[in-house]
Amino acid sequence: MKADKMLQNFKLTPVDQMGINERIVRIKARSIKNETKAQGLKMALNMIDLTSLEGADTPKKVSQMCYKAMHPHDSMQGLPMVAAVCVYPTLVKTAKNALKGSGVKVAAVATYFPSGQTNLKAKLDETSYAIGEGADEIDMVISRGKFLQGEYAYVLDEILAVKDICHASNVRLKVILETGELGSFDEVRKASDIALQANPDFIKTSTGKIGQAANMPVTLVMLQAIWDHYQKTGVQVGMKPAGGISDAKTALHYLMMVKEVLGEQWLTNEWFRFGASRLANDILMQLAKQETGLYQSAGYFSKD
């Protein structure tokens, strides 16, 4: 198998847990000027993958979410659109039609999201189906069970197979590690390094379907893996923390962290995304406060 050869000289990069936590404390302690804050909030809004991944999702609900993706708030001028909407494969066509001509991308979860517990053929068939429905991006999940058993070549071969299908159709690939199921920072770094061997377009923290979703320390571990990969190969890979990021202040801390670790070239929605369903509203509330000096009630903003 191709992955066996690719992983022959694979070595674990140990993570300094204390160093990670201390760096996060320093980032969170920094103050942000109001002018910079407004700019950062608009940047963060433009980096959101507005997400609805519920069993109760309907075409009407997805169409409403797509309207919000294009018009974050009708009475606030000069706001950017979000980067993408993220839906199940069966709702890709609905989203694609609703977003036509807007430039907002349609991302589809695939490979038996969120568990990944099925065979490779089923995963590839679902990926092909989502692309056939019009998906611009695929968010795949790795086989965490195989990873935890030490079957790293199996995990990498799956990523490579999905990537081949995506890139043959000019579709970008995000690889979800589900970091909350991996255990230690060392395991997160190992999973990141294995996924990066495939040169996907993004690596992503979480599905948002378990209690332990994205957090800053785990994201920092993944950012460092991306930087080391870039230094070795010259290949730029994006980052997507997802799940649990719901307030604007936290989003700004993430942007500071990305700039510090990877540099400004990663501070576009081509290379950094937030997977979120509630973050957009808090950003809009903060931007309204910047403009008017007053907080609007949560009811002032549409539900996603």
Selected catalytic residue, list 123, 193, 240, 304? 240
Query: Does the active-site annotation cover 61?
Result: no
Which tokens in the block code for residue 214?
């994205």
Distances, alpha carbon 191 to alpha carbons 65, 179, 211, 241, in Å? 32, 9, 19, 15
**Residue of 160, 136, 185 whose CA lies nearest to 19:** 185
User: What single-letter DSSP state applies at residue 123?
Assistant: H
Query: Does the active-site annotation cover 139?
Result: yes
Query: How crowded is residue 148: how many other Cβ atoms within 10 Å of its Cβ?
Result: 14
137 neighbors 106 (Cβ within 8 angstroms): yes
Selected catalytic residue, list 49, 68, 123, 139? 139
Taking the C-alpha atoms of residue 90 and residue 105, their distance in angstroms, rounded to an integer, is: 16
User: What single-letter DSSP state applies at residue 272?
Assistant: B
Work out whether strand 238-240 and strand 84-87 pair parallel, antiparallel, or are unpaired. Answer: unpaired
Which tokens in the block code for residue 15?
């993570």
Query: Does the active-site annotation cover 204?
Result: yes
User: What single-letter DSSP state applies at residue 90?
Assistant: G
Selected catalytic residue, list 96, 157, 204, 304? 204
Taking the C-alpha atoms of residue 275 and residue 279, their distance in angstroms, rounded to an integer, is: 9
**Concatenated DSSP letters for 172-240?**
EEEEE--GGGT-SHHHHHHHHHHHHTT--SEEE---S-SSS---HHHHHHHHHHHHHHHHHH----EEE
If DSSP codes are grouped into helix, strand and coil, which group holds residue 276? strand
If DSSP codes are grouped into helix, strand and coil, which group holds residue 28? helix
Taking the C-alpha atoms of residue 173 and residue 193, their distance in angstroms, rounded to an integer, is: 16
Please identify every residue annotated as catalytic.
Answer: 139, 204, 240
